[in-house]
Structure 1
Amino acid sequence: MNTLIATIAAYLIGSISFAVVMSRAFGLSDPRTYGSKNPGATNVLRSGSKKAAIATLLGDGAKGWLAVWLAVKFGPQYGIEEGGIALVAIAVFLGHLWPVFFRFVGGKGVATALGVLLGINVWLGLATLATWLIIAYAFRYSSLAALVAAVFAPFYYGLLFGADEVLFAVVVMSGLLLFRHSGNIANLIAGKESRIGSKAGAAGKKK
């Protein structure tokens, strides 16, 4: 029962879309209406507000970290073991992808996935973040960086901890990240993908 409660709570935490919340707070257009129409930090950046984008990034990452950290820290005393932690990790990630508070229209999950990995283990999160940063700096494509990092995350986990139930959760998240970026993959192949920092013509402050 405790594992079920923790899993539902994690999903609800994940359902808080900071891209929408922060855009409203900064007086910006809804990120679901311009650019890639993805409610995530990269699309919010296209509005021209770096502060809103950073706030979105931190919020989406923090919710993933918080849900998993709480499960890791306090779960065992309530009977939430490794399998329960894996369910919490998947649940908070699913909440971001399909948030109940925003008609199940969510982001692609990069920041939240990173938060989850940091909650599982700091070194796992940092290794994945370093991969993202290297690819993003070299190619200036957020989507490409996310794809490469998603592929490497399960590999990093396996090196650190071997095969277990949490590795399964990491693999599921990586697979969902690849799925959510299917349109970006097509754009990358066609040479139509937007680079980091490019602005959307329809983005900006509300009139």
Structure 2
Amino acid sequence: MPASPYAIAAVWPWLLAALAFGYVLGSIPFGLIFTRLAGAGDIRQVGSGNIGATNVLRTGRKGIAAATLLADAAKGAVAVLAAGAMAGEPASLAAGLGAVLGHCFPVWLRFKGGKGVATTLGCLAAWSWPLGIAACLLWLLLAVLFRISSLSALLGLALTAALAWLLAIAPPWGHALSSLPLAVVVTITVALVWAMHHQNIARLLAGTEPRIGQSKKT
């Protein structure tokens, strides 16, 4: 039986609040904060100017890069878990999407943030830990095969989105690992991450995308 208009109207404020909560949490620029605290300067003036862990690594400070990766993933996971605990799966999905949007478009940095990979991984792990593990393993496997960070992340997340759909329509055992709403939000999130990598995709098509360990100036 379809939900009544009153029920839908009651849900929307919670979803918007969860989206806003996730956005605020996701917009914390850990890469910028950590590099400044460590005396490494403004990460926006290094390499590609991105605030994510990959660009932080170009400072030569592996510890800061690792901390940025973990913190960016954690803010996605915390947003999902906190919203889910308060208002269930719909709110957790909205908060996760908000966290990725906040990381990519932080209001504090004039909407110029990161590309959302680590935050998406954190959301995936909190939404469904098997999907989170699958995404990380795929990313690592593809990184070993291709030695190109952006390609590994993009393909790994795309395959994870496909897995989310497969589990959502699988027999009952699969429904415990994914759902149709989750598959939809994962797909939207992954599409956003792909859009944020438009310059990387152009370089991949041109064959000029740097490999892991190779410096990049732009």
User: Which TM-score applies when normalising by structure 1?
Assistant: 0.89
Cα distance in 2 for partners of 1:169, 1:92 equals: 12
> 2:78: which partner in 1?
66
> 2:185: which partner in 1?
169
> 1:96: which partner in 2?
103
Partner SS, residue 46 of structure 1 = helix
Match runs of 1:148-159 below 5 Å = 148-159=155-166
Per-residue CA shift, 1:101-137, capped at 9, x if unaligned?
2221110000000000001011110001111001111
Larger radius of gyration: 2
Partner letter of residue 184 of structure 1?
N
> 2:30: which partner in 1?
18
Q: Contact (CA 8 Å) 2:80, 2:92: kept in 1 or not?
A: yes
> 1:191: which partner in 2?
207
Q: Contact (CA 8 Å) 1:17, 1:96: kept in 2 or not?
A: yes
Q: Contact (CA 8 Å) 2:25, 2:79: kept in 1 or not?
A: yes
CA 1:177–1:201: 2 relative to 1, 3 Å: closer
Cα distance in 2 for partners of 1:126, 1:156 equals: 12
Cα distance in 2 for partners of 1:200, 1:3 equals: 40
> 1:43: which partner in 2?
55
> 2:124: which partner in 1?
117
Q: Does 1:52 align with 2:64?
A: yes
Match runs of 1:116-135 below 5 Å = 116-135=123-142
> 2:150: which partner in 1?
143
Partner letter of residue 206 of structure 2?
A
Partner letter of residue 45 of structure 1?
L
Greater RCO, 1 or 2 (C-alpha within 8 Å, sep 6+): 1
Cα distance in 2 for partners of 1:161, 1:42 equals: 32
User: Which TM-score applies when normalising by structure 2?
Assistant: 0.84
Cα distance in 2 for partners of 1:199, 1:187 equals: 14
> 2:172: which partner in 1?
none
> 1:3: which partner in 2?
15
Stretches (4+) displaced over 6 A: none
Q: Contact (CA 8 Å) 1:10, 1:91: kept in 2 or not?
A: yes
Cα distance in 2 for partners of 1:198, 1:29 equals: 21
Per-residue CA shift, 1:156-207, capped at 9, x if unaligned?
21233335222111011111111111110111122221222334579xxxxx
CA RMSD of aligned residues (A): 1.7
Q: Contact (CA 8 Å) 2:80, 2:127: kept in 1 or not?
A: yes
In structure 1, list runs of 5 or more residues that go unmatched. Answer: 203-207
Per-residue CA shift, 1:21-44, capped at 9, x if unaligned?
111111113222221221110111
Partner letter of residue 192 of structure 2?
L
> 1:205: which partner in 2?
none
Cα distance in 2 for partners of 1:93, 1:197 equals: 26
